[in-house]
A and B are shown apart, each in its own frame.
Chain A
Amino acid sequence: MSASRPRTLEQIETILRKTLRTLGEVIYGMTVYDWVHELNSARNEQERLFSLIVYGDLLGIPILPPYYTLRLLPYLVPTLENWRRSMLRERDFTDIINQEVG
């Protein structure tokens, strides 16, 4: 009896923690998530642009590879495939619609 009570309390505590964490995540999603997402997007766009300037030749843009291309190449390798896809992906107006307006 005495052993089961602490276990029950622990279970209640676990459930409460989970509920609070879920609620916190939902509120985060409703409040600052899109703000954070937008800032990250802006920063990553800058990095994407920098990569384009340094590695434009990888996309067929005739930029002579500068000295920095080789120095920076190891840092780009892990993201190279997604960077190329992101740069070459066809986009249209519906890409920017991420918010209900009605």
Chain B
Amino acid sequence: MNAIIVLLLAALGIGVGYFLYARNIDRNIVQPNPDKATPAKMYMDGVDFTPASRNVLFGYQFKSVAALAPLTGPVIAVQWGWLPALLWILLGVFFIGWAQDYGAMIMGVRREGETMGALSYKLISPRARTILMIFIYFYLLLIMGAFGNAVGKVLMTNPKVPFGIIAVVLMGMLAGQMTYKYRQDIILTSIVTVVLTFVGIWISTLPFMSNLFSAIYGLPESPKILLGNTQAQVIGTLLMIIFCYLGAVLPIWSFAQPVNYVSFWIVTLGMVGGVIGLLIWHPGMGDFPAVTQFTTASGPLWPMLFVTIACGAISGWHSLVSTSGTARQLEKETDALPVGGGAMFLEGAFAIIAFLTATVAFGGWQGYQDAGGAGAALAVFAGGLAQFLNRIGVPLVFGTAYGSVFLTIMAVTIMQLVVRFMRVASAELIGDSVPVMKNIHVGSIVALLLTLLFVWVIPWLAIWGAFGGANQLMAGLALLLIALWLMSEGRSHNWAFYPAIFMIVTDLAALLYIAYTNLLVKLPAAATGQAALAAALVGIICLVLVVAALVLIWDGWQAIQRTRAVKPAKA
């Protein structure tokens, strides 16, 4: 199939999904009232509640939800063939993804800006909030493991990448200085820092710089020095850890945000250039099979495909972002659909571009395998993007380094935020019994040590499946919460309830499958202590998540019975 046909199909799915299905639910079931005061207006305090225009919030919401998973998941999922991956992206976002983002957002608006923690406490049960917190902590740990693995053990080991990353960080700090200290115009700041970052990426590809990092890494045959990891992997991981630590402990406006700002332009320019190159080139999929086999290295198509592509089709974390971030800034109730639903549909398009980097950029199945396949998804994406950029005149060598820096910086900007979240979560979970965990440095160091353990011990694909399962299960639970809220208001709830059932059943099956393969297949067959530890860790975390989810589902079911027992009062 040609790339243009895929893009047209995606545009059709998104158009019909947004303008017919989503708008119908918005107008006829939720019935937003543009004249009703939103929490942003009622409780404006300049800290949590601040009204902003619909267009600004659309950009903000999209930037907030579009992270690395929509670029990675589709590249891994095409191992089952292009058809299942494409169908799940299109149908997932059509029936489930937007419904969760929009539902969580409008629920937050109607419930006075309450976040998922407070909502689960009030709508499900008091213990639901604690369980949600445990769930979130393990989820964050899995993200750190998955992204840390991809960045520290794959992308950073390329000697043409590290200087580019250092350039982004330095330019981010310069952007902060130019803004706060020298009070320069943001346009001038952007031009100077972005241009210098590109120069830095170019310098990182020059022989003298890559030779320097090759020497540091001990290349060409980097020796194994720690837990089976090469010198390049260990140094690459440590560089990443230092960056995450700084991002987690320094004030967010002084380090993380300026770096994220510069990164945004690097990523956006790459994506725009890639899409233009793709449209000019518009290649076909060659011999890429529609369906390969039911069971691949990641497991059976059901349920594993549905957790492999998380963001891009549906992501549970969006429900947290939609309630605590955007719902408190909506000026009007009617803005929830274009902001929440619209941003999610656009993220589906983002995932389609990633899908095309794997399926069309390398000429077919063999090209995909040669580029690294599912096991090196980020490298495949970087290579695919370089092929697209090459069609608009960007040399392949620069394009590949740029693609790697692009992905690395995307991952590490997310990871520094994850460490920040982890230290707050651990302080809240055990801070009263272990007061030292309330210290920001201790909380961050504990989170980073756990990350190192995951990165150096557990293989990438094993973590990715567990991460996807946890994320998608959270989506199922969020949809259940939305359905409960709709029931309590006496509104039709099937559009949220049936997707909730599908997601919960599928994701419980996925987590149980991962637990089974790790604890009962890989663990007994493990040849080394490290392999045994990896299997045990992944298996036990999956079981903990399953138990936590079952308790939440039980409490949720009882909440449904309670809601049905009382006569609903239509809002």
Please give the residue numbers on chain A whose beta carbons come within 8 Å of chain B beta carbons, in ascending order. 22, 25-35, 37-45, 47-48, 79, 82-83, 85-86, 89-90, 92-102
Chain A CB within 10 Å, residue with most, of B47, B49, B115, B317: B47
Q: Which residues of B contact A47 (CB under 8 A)?
A: 46
Q: CB-CB < 8 A to B326: which residues of A?
A: 98
What's the Cα separation between A37 and B52 when bound, in Å?
Answer: 10
Chain A residues with Cβ below 8 Å from B252 are: 38
B321 & A102 in contact (Cβ 8 Å cutoff)? no
CB < 8 Å neighbour of A93 from B57, B265, B428? B428
Q: What are 15 A-B residue pairs whose CB atoms fall within 8 Å in the complex?
A: A29-B62, A31-B63, A34-B257, A40-B50, A41-B47, A41-B48, A82-B44, A82-B49, A93-B424, A97-B421, A99-B325, A100-B64, A101-B140, A102-B67, A102-B143
* Contact indicator A97/B320 (Cβ below 8 Å): yes
Residues of B contacting A: mostly:
helix
Give the B interface residue count (CB, 8 A).
65
Q: Whose C-beta in chain A lies nearest to the C-beta of B257?
A: A35
Interface members, chain B 55-89 (any A CB < 8 Å): 55-69
Please, which residues of chain B bring their CB within 8 A of the CB of A79? 45
- A22-B55, A92-B118, A100-B67 known; A48+B418 contact, CB < 8 A: no
CB distance from B87 to the nearest CB of A (A): 21
Inter-chain contact A96/B424, CB cutoff 8 Å: yes
Of A39, A44, A47, A92, which is in contact with the most chain B CB atoms at under 10 Å from its CB? A92
Q: Which residues from chain A contact B265 at a C-beta distance below 8 Å?
A: 31
**B58 contact from A26, A48, A96, A98, Cβ within 8 A:** A26
Are B264 and A31 closer than 8 Å at their CB atoms? yes
CB of A44, distance to nearest CB on chain B (Å): 4
Query: Max chain A CB contacts within 10 Å: which of B116, B251, B258?
Result: B116
A85 touches B45 (CB 8 A): yes
Query: Is B53 among interface residues, defined by CB-CB distance under 8 A?
Result: yes
Chain A contact residues, majority secondary structure: helix
Beyond A93-B117, A102-B315, whether A37 also contacts B50 by CB under 8 A is yes
Residue from the set B69, B257, B261, B318 with the largest chain A CB neighbour count within 10 Å: B257
* B253, A102: Cβ atoms closer than 8 Å: no
Chain B contacts of A43 at CB under 8 A? Answer: 46
A64 to B395, CA, bound (A): 70
Sample of 8 further A-B pairs with CB below 8 A, known A82-B44, A101-B421, A102-B68? A25-B55, A26-B55, A30-B62, A38-B252, A47-B46, A93-B133, A94-B324, A102-B414
B253 touches A38 (CB 8 A): yes
Q: Is the CB of B479 closer than 8 A to any CB of chain A?
A: no
CA distance A95 to B321 in the complex (A): 9
Given contacts A82-B44, A93-B425, contact A29 B65 (CB under 8 A): no
Chain A residue at minimum C-beta to C-beta distance from B339: A29
Assembly CA distance A42 to B66 (angstroms): 25
Residues of B within 8 A of A99 (CB): 64, 67, 321, 325, 414, 417
Beyond A38-B257, A101-B67, whether A92 also contacts B129 by CB under 8 A is: yes
Identity of the chain B residue whose Cβ is nearest the Cβ of A44 in the assembled complex: B46
CB proximity to A under 8 Å, residues B113-134 = 115-118, 129, 132-133
- Of all A-B residue pairs in the complex, the 3 with the closest CB atoms, nearest first, are A29-B59, A98-B325, A25-B55
